[in-house]
Each structure stands twice: as C-alpha cells, then as structure tokens.
Amino acid sequence: MTTAAITIVPATQADHDDIVDILAASYAEYQSTFEQSERWEAYVKDIRESVDNPYLTELWIAKIDEQIVGTVQLYETAHKAYPNFELPIDYPFIRLLGVAPAWRGHGIARKLLQRCIDSAKEMGKTTVYLYTGGQMLNAIRLYERFGFVEDKDFSSVSSEGNAICYRYDFQG
C-alpha cells in the first residue's frame, strides 16, 4: 500500500487522453491471449472509444499527487454498458477498471470499486455487476477478494473465450 493519498474524483473531458493511456497500458498484458490480432485491435478500439460513450453514467479517476493512476466506468444498467448485447441486468454495471501498471498493488483498484458501490447505493441499488475475461487472472483474484461472486446465469463460454459475470451484493 502506498502512503500517498489516493483521491477518487469524477473525470473531466481534459482527463480523457490520460484515461485512454492508462486503460491501454493496463490491458496490454492480455494482448497475447487474443488469438486473432483483429479481435485485439477491436478490443483496444472499444477501450479507446469508451470514454466518449453516451451511455456512460460515471467516469471516475484515481489520483495520487495530481497524477491520474487509475480509472473505472459505471453504467446505469448492463444494456447501457453493452448496448450491442441483450443483457437483462437492470443494475449498475462496472466496466474498464484500470490501474497504471507502475501503481498496481497500492489499493487503487479497491478504492475505485468502492466508489462504484457507493454510487450504486446513491442510485438506490443493492447490487453491482461486471464482466471479466477468463484469461484476466489478476482481475479475477481482485474481484473475488473484494467479495464479488460469479453469476453463472450471465457468464458464457464461446469460441472467443470465457466471459465471466460477477455480482456484488451490499446493503443500500
């Protein structure tokens, strides 16, 4: 854990380039798990365009000494998070949690997840969801240690890989 103060604040338009850079660096470790380069390129394109998604409810950044070191997105529902898929999850949905690789292990991801949970409480909800890929072992460990549990009703296995749906239930 770092001794520097981590602050979680709403992102501004001026933060978007830094957010995209952090997300690209954060997810780069998974490039080799994509069998087709076209799939990886489409994934990175989605990451880059995510900050301008009109359905994005909240875009948070983590800062240490005015440096952006992490980010997370929160959507009102699964359908807004993934408008091209029919997902009947009418709860807040977390997407694209990323921490700059040099800042991992300092509790930043946990603080960003907690901010999403606090936002969901403010929306009057008692559950948040997220998806992660089966190859994203570090993310899976983080979510499970935090208390997320797999919702097998919404997880899927396809030729493109495993999409694991996690949910976190809490008191409103």
* Structure confidence by residue, pLDDT tens digits, 122-137: 999 999 999 998 889 9
Q: Is residue 103 part of a domain?
A: yes
Give residue 157's pLDDT. 81
In a domain, 151, yes or no: yes
Range of the domain at 114: 6-169
Gap between the terminal Cα atoms of the chain: 28
Asked if the structure places residue 75 within a domain, the reply is yes
Angle 73-149-151 from CA coordinates, rounded to 5°: 85
Please check whether residue 1 lies inside any domain of the structure.
no
Q: pLDDT tens across 17-65, in order?
A: 999 999 999 998 888 877 778 888 888 898 899 999 999 999 999 999 9
The strand pairing partners of 70, in sequence order, are 62, 99
pLDDT confidence of residue 86:
83
* Domain assignment of residue 11, yes or no: yes
Question: Can you give the CATH number for the domain in which 55 is found?
Answer: 3.40.630.30
Q: Evaluate whether residue 84 is within a structural domain.
A: yes
Helix, coil or strand: residue 9: strand
Lookup result for tokens 């603080």: 111
Distance set, CA 25 to CA 47, 69, 93 (Å): 11, 11, 22
pLDDT grade, residue 159 (50/70/90)?
A: low
- Asked whether residue 134 is domain-assigned, the answer is yes
Residue 55 lies in a domain: yes
Using the predicted structure, report yes or no on whether residue 161 has a pLDDT greater than 80. no
Strand pairing category for 127-133 and 161-169: antiparallel
Q: How many CB atoms lie within 10 A of CB 91?
A: 18
**What integer is the mean pLDDT of 112-122?**
97
In tens, the pLDDT along 81-95 reads 988 888 889 999 999
pTM here is 0.92
Query: How many domains does the structure of the chain reveal?
Result: 1
